[in-house]
Structure 1
Amino acid sequence: MNAGLSRLPLALLISVALLAACLALRIADPEPVARLRLSAFDTYLRAAPRQVDPSFPVRIVAIDEASLAAVGQWPWPRTRLADLVSKLVSAGAASVTFDMVFAEPDRLSPEVLLRTLMDDAGQAAAIASLGRLSSNDARLAAAIDGAPVVLGVAGNSNVTSKIAPYPGAVSFAGDDPLMFVHSFAGGVQNLPNLTKAARGIGAVNWLPSSDQVLRRIPLLVSIGGAVYPSLALEALRVGTKQSTIFIKSSGGSGVEALGQKTGIESIRVGETVLPSDGRGELWLKFAPGDPRRTISALSVLDGTVKSGDIKSRHIIIGATATGLLDLRATPLEPAVPGVEIHAQALEQMLAGDHLLRPAYATGAEIAFLIVIGALVAWLIERSGAVVAAIAGLVSIAFIILLSWLAYSRAGLLFDPVYPSLSVALLYFGVSLTSFIKSEIQRAEIRSAFGHYVAAPLVEELARNRDKLKLGGETREITLLFADVRGFSKISEGLRADELIRFVNRLFTPLTDVILGHNGTIDKFMGDAVMAFWNAPVHDANHASNACRAALAMLDRLAALNDALKAEAVAAGVPFMPVRMGIGLNTGECVVGNVGSPQRFDYSVLGDVVNVAARFEEATKTFGARIVVGERTAAQAPQFAFLELGSVTPRGKDRPENVFALLGDEIYAASEAFLDVRNAHVAFLAARQGGEPRRTEEALAACMRVAPEDMVTYYRNCASEKIAT
């Protein structure tokens, strides 16, 4: 790895990686990401749909169930449709648009019936008169001719046949719109006489999203290399008596968008300007369905419709009967008739209440993601997960609010979902990094304190780092000092490497004993070790654990001496036993990290430390291997203690009583120890009473029952090396 990268914090590297992944995913915009965005827009639309114009400038003349029941099955004879057109035009409709394509001759036309019946020669004379009647298609063309009627055409990529030229005019500024619009190789058109009679033709195509929900319609399409308007856009042109559709594409304002061809910007018909995305699509801002928008075709045909419902209205004729299966899904409804999509699109054009996803939306969302994502990552690293979570939640709330305000106030569509999810992912990703980092720190604590503290205490420290306070705190501590007797003489006969191996061999089992009894090793000082209990983790039995550890250390030392003796005998060299003095003391200390920020030790400070060291030195005077202060003895009364006398520590005026620790609670309850204790108490009483003969007899009694640890003490008392 590059040396510069290796110095960067892990959280920063992961933050950058996650942020880059989120940005790459957003730029690639796969289907799941796009669907999230669309679901947010659907939610907004359901919360605040377009308001219905109560005047209903667009009306649907529906081929509904009632019409089918009265007129007959669909498709109707085109004479019926001609009658429908005539009545609508007579009632003053601004435009009449068919949401259908009349690509084949009417099967009910007289000439079609004639060809069918002519197969039966016996009926020829009876039906010859049919040939003199006008075709149904001609009668429909006659009704359409001169009227503001728009017919539908359908682009189809599976055919290559071209359709009739667009009867209106298309003018564009900037890049050719054919570069951007949805393209079809060919199309399906109406019969030539109908096409010639119609004032306009518009594409009925729509392109739903991958979830089959219709959210946009193409305002323009390319069929066979020519531009055609959508059915709703053509209805607008014809209904407002305009001749030309104006298209503004990238570069149309005389300013290049950094040399990029960003697509179609807007489409204008007369005074109506329609915002468009780059591909010439119009986002539909649906209004709730309203039955007042729909008029039954039957009411037009039988003359029962109110003239006011038709006059100056844009009429779209289409099927709404469920059996005709012309249904589409929208963000507001799971199934609506296709004709209503065209009607709603035309209503939206007339109302001017549009939705637009601006060209800069993606860039703005990406910029927000970069800024907020970087802020959250930085806050996690600098201020912790809680502050970062608050900042992230505030940021997510801000983008949702901003997105909603943009929709509700200006009709602009900004994606609130993906940036929010990305910030959340970044937060959880970096938090996971912090968690991993915390676990690494715990592992470091285990590794570092595992050399000094018992494994259960290390685990507790790892779970609760607050128990390892920086600085110091006052706490009652039990101290242990242990020193090897005659170490200088032992080391004289050893080489440097042999001396290191000997010291390690000596202190390894002693370390195991201390740690195994919940102790903390402060330091090794040559041939001595200092340890303490009740820090950094609380230990209610610190005095007892320290006493038990001291006894176990002597047991381990005895085992080591046995091994060394066997080795000396095998090597034919003199054996020199290793002896040790141990001092224990309990009292208030300051415990914590002592040193500088660059280098510190977890240690204890206070008079109790010095007194414990003085007790260890006192083992030489008293001849006992473990000398314990009175507070330690008082907190571990179940152990086998014998009072030795008093010691005045350096810098102290008051002497402190000290005790020899001879064994644990099992030995303390034994008859052997009871004999020793009774003899020892009698000896102390005689000595304090100043009775030499009685003292001598009591001392002799003590020597008869004394354990090995006390033999030297009684001998020193007999020789008056220990003052009374």
Structure 2
Amino acid sequence: MADSPILPAAPDRWMEGKWAILLTGLALTALVTLISLFQPNFLHKADLFVYDQLLASRAVPAQSADPVLVAIDEASLAAYGQWPWPRYRLAMLVERLHAQGARVIALDFLMPEPDRTSPEVILRERLRDQVDAPTLPATGNADSNSQRLAAALAKGPSILGYFLHFTDRPTGDQPPNPPTPPDGLVVTRLAGYPELPAMPSGPLRSLPQLTGAARGEGFTNAPEDLDGTLRRVPLLLTVDGTDYPSLAFAALLAASPDRHIQLAREDSENILRWAGRNIPLDASGHLLLDYRRPPPAAISALAVLQDQLPADRLRNRIVLLGAQATGLGDLHRTPLGKPLSGLAIHATLIDNILADTFVRRPGWARGAELALTLLTGLLATVLLSRTGFLVSSLLVTGGTLACYAASQALMISRGIHLSPLLPMLTLVLSGSVLSLLKYGITARKLRLRTRDLLDAQDDIIISMSVLAEARDKETGGHIRRTRRYVEILANQLARTPRYAHLSRFDIELLAKSAPLHDIGKIGIPDAILQKPGKLTDAEYAIMQSHTLIGAAALSRIVSDSGHPEKQTFLDYARQMTESHHEHWNGQGYPHHLQGDAIPLAGRLMALADVYDALISRRVYKKPYTHAEVCQFITEKSGSQFDPDIVAAFMARNDEFWRVAEAFADPVE
């Protein structure tokens, strides 16, 4: 037995288009990494949203004993009148709080002007506003209500709030009346702790007589993120080289004997050390607030003023005092969606520190996210380039969920925020783009393969036609010319309203069918097919049967084909084979069809076949001129040929002549 021929190895399908996929995947990974370095707003907002979801997934810890909120709420305003209250009433409230045993009282409001309800202030304003007012006793700068409040503040540890401006001032210009930090506060910066940007320029404080009576002050500034959400607060801000604490942190310091603070850089993380605690700060020196636990319910100032509290309710507690009534405007959006008052946010900060429940954003987190993005992009590119659509979809979905789950687990177990957004974005973007790219590559391969198959099909059709026509020595390039003629006619017809339904696909199939129009001649005996003289009536009848022989053969193929495209093509071929010798007036053969009863394919080939027979040289005749053929066809319009097709021919007859010349039979 002879050895089987060695077939060439099939190409590695993975290698086809591999480099395009790999390079695209790497480019997408680099693009995401580059975009992340510039932190555009849309990406930053998306990152903040993901952070909020991760924060909400943590379990709610137990609440610390401190602090206590005392709110000037709707009930208080209903009982004592609109805000702001006279300071003598605030003094009464502070005195009651001290009497209840509060360890520290922090007042979350500013009082930079004299109290207009003080009798002395009323007199001064009347003297200022009424030129013809009667002589009144001089009052100087007295403000008895503020003096009353100052005396109340001095009775125990109290902290006043102030606001820091961030406007520019000339370098070296000292702020007027610098704030008063809690007594004994010492802040030490250890080596490695970074210099932080955006230092404030000066404070807006309460009246000196009030700040002088308090044990210290704290700023109330809290910057919101890009989306208007308050996620972090500074514990310390530096004004002209001096560190000042926030209101809530100042209250903690005033309540503690330890007022020594260290700012350190430890394991790539900013740390504030105080009272045995390591408080993590972000790159800007801010504390990320853990909002999982709702703030404690506020006690109404009305209950305090009317002595309605249990005797030990406030004993040894940090008390935060502020206005919290509806309409006062001190509400802030939080990551968990519920707006909180400034008073509640101060309470959250104190609770986070006392309960040691922190959210960490180490300095290495940014680098880790970029490294994970690059690694994820590389792995995704390699894997997605080797898998199909279903597996790729599962990889992208599973990888995205895994990134989120890993980040969530890190947040839950250790309170560390490592954003999964960049790796997730890389996976989704790579999966989408690479899938489209792979689809495009596959579609291109399919188009090329289909084109090759169609070309092979055309070659087979031509070969079959040539095989049939080879027995007729006089036909030569007839099959190639008639194919072009049919295509020209069909294209012209498609421009008319009656035949506007002819699509590009229909025209292509009609043209492909043309070479098979005389396939039935293969069943005609050579003695008849190649007879040099005139056929007898019996022989002519046999010759006419080639239309039925070809149609019958194609009908059997049509019945065996289940593919719609194949059936359409074979239907056109069968119709053309069977009816291309029919005449418009019914005088043709084999069925003597008339008018539109003749299939369009047959009507097209009828004209194309006659044109080619007349324009071509035969052993028994000389070729007609193109003008003579055009005249003949015009004369036969409505009798032998469809008038619409004759009109289409006349509109494009010059193209017929060019085809006839291009594919003319060689002269022997």
TM-score normalised by structure 2 residue count: 0.66
Deviation at 1:143, TM superposition (A): 2.6
2:161 is matched with 152
Deviation at 1:34, TM superposition (A): 1.0
For the Cα contact (< 8 Å) 2:181–2:217, is it kept in 1?
yes
- Counterpart CA distance in 1 for 2:17 and 2:339 is 59
- Counterpart CA distance in 2 for 1:139 and 1:284 is 36
1:398 is matched with 402
4+ residue segments displaced more than 6 Å: 119-123, 130-134, 477-480, 510-516, 545-548, 632-635, 665-674
State the one-letter code of the partner of 2:244: Y
State the one-letter code of the partner of 1:320: Q
Q: Deviations over 1:182-224 (max 9, x none)?
A: 4212221232233233222211001111221111111222334
State the one-letter code of the partner of 2:350: L
State the one-letter code of the partner of 1:241: P
1:337 is matched with 341
Superposition CA RMSD, Å? 4.7
For the Cα contact (< 8 Å) 2:166–2:198, is it kept in 1?
no
2:55 is matched with 45
2:84 is matched with 75
Deviation at 1:402, TM superposition (A): 1.0
Gap change, CA 1:96 and 1:165, over 3 Å in 2 = closer
- Counterpart CA distance in 1 for 2:50 and 2:282 is 18
- Alignment identity in percent? 28
State the one-letter code of the partner of 1:235: A
Deviation at 1:638, TM superposition (A): 7.4
1:192 is matched with 208
Deviation at 1:227, TM superposition (A): 2.2
2:26 is matched with 16
- Counterpart CA distance in 2 for 1:197 and 1:673 is 122
- Counterpart CA distance in 1 for 2:20 and 2:149 is 76
Matches within 5 A, 1:609-648: 637=552
The equivalent position to 2:225 in structure 1, one of 195, 205, 209, is: 209
Deviation at 1:225, TM superposition (A): 4.5
The answer to which structure has the higher strand fraction is 1
Gap change, CA 1:509 and 1:226, over 3 Å in 2 = farther
- Counterpart CA distance in 1 for 2:305 and 2:554 is 115
2:41 is matched with 31
The equivalent position to 1:235 in structure 2, one of 229, 244, 251, is: 251
Residue 384 (str. 1) matches residue 388 (str. 2): yes
Q: How many correspondences in the alignment?
A: 515
For the Cα contact (< 8 Å) 1:52–1:287, is it kept in 2?
no
For the Cα contact (< 8 Å) 2:72–2:325, is it kept in 1?
yes
State the one-letter code of the partner of 1:382: R
- Counterpart CA distance in 2 for 1:667 and 1:138 is 121
1:677 is matched with none
Q: Deviations over 1:208-263 (max 9, x none)?
A: 112211111112223345322221211121122322222114xxx5x8x6xxxxxx
Residue 275 (str. 1) matches residue 274 (str. 2): no
Deviation at 1:67, TM superposition (A): 1.6
Deviation at 1:81, TM superposition (A): 2.4
- Counterpart CA distance in 2 for 1:483 and 1:431 is 49
Q: Deviations over 1:567-600 (max 9, x none)?
A: xxxxxxxxxxxxxxx868xxxxxxxxxxxxxxxx
Residue 164 (str. 1) matches residue 179 (str. 2): yes
For the Cα contact (< 8 Å) 2:105–2:159, is it kept in 1?
yes
Gap change, CA 1:509 and 1:349, over 3 Å in 2 = same
Unaligned runs of 5+ in 1: 1-5, 258-263, 458-476, 491-501, 517-544, 555-581, 585-614, 641-662, 675-707, 709-724
Unaligned runs of 5+ in 2: 1-15, 170-174, 489-510, 533-541, 556-576, 591-617, 619-668
Gap change, CA 1:115 and 1:49, over 3 Å in 2 = farther
- Counterpart CA distance in 2 for 1:198 and 1:48 is 39
Gap change, CA 1:273 and 1:331, over 3 Å in 2 = same
TM-score normalised by structure 1 residue count: 0.61
- Counterpart CA distance in 1 for 2:363 and 2:67 is 30
For the Cα contact (< 8 Å) 1:513–1:549, is it kept in 2?
no
Q: Deviations over 1:398-420 (max 9, x none)?
A: 01111221222222223234432
1:368 is matched with 372
For the Cα contact (< 8 Å) 2:59–2:412, is it kept in 1?
no
The equivalent position to 2:94 in structure 1, one of 85, 88, 93, is: 85
Is the partner of 1:309 in helix, strand or coil? Answer: coil
- Counterpart CA distance in 1 for 2:197 and 2:289 is 17
Is the partner of 2:518 in helix, strand or coil? Answer: helix
Deviation at 1:124, TM superposition (A): 5.7
- Counterpart CA distance in 1 for 2:324 and 2:442 is 64
Deviation at 1:515, TM superposition (A): 12
- Counterpart CA distance in 1 for 2:516 and 2:146 is 115
For the Cα contact (< 8 Å) 1:45–1:285, is it kept in 2?
yes
Deviation at 1:343, TM superposition (A): 1.0
Larger radius of gyration: 1
- Counterpart CA distance in 2 for 1:433 and 1:35 is 29
Gap change, CA 1:71 and 1:365, over 3 Å in 2 = same
Matches within 5 A, 1:390-429: 390-429=394-433
Q: Deviations over 1:423-447 (max 9, x none)?
A: 1121111112122223322442354
Deviation at 1:265, TM superposition (A): 0.6
Gap change, CA 1:382 and 1:212, over 3 Å in 2 = same
- Counterpart CA distance in 2 for 1:408 and 1:213 is 22
Gap change, CA 1:666 and 1:149, over 3 Å in 2 = closer
**Greater relative CO (CA pairs within 8 A, separation 6+):** 2
Deviation at 1:94, TM superposition (A): 2.4
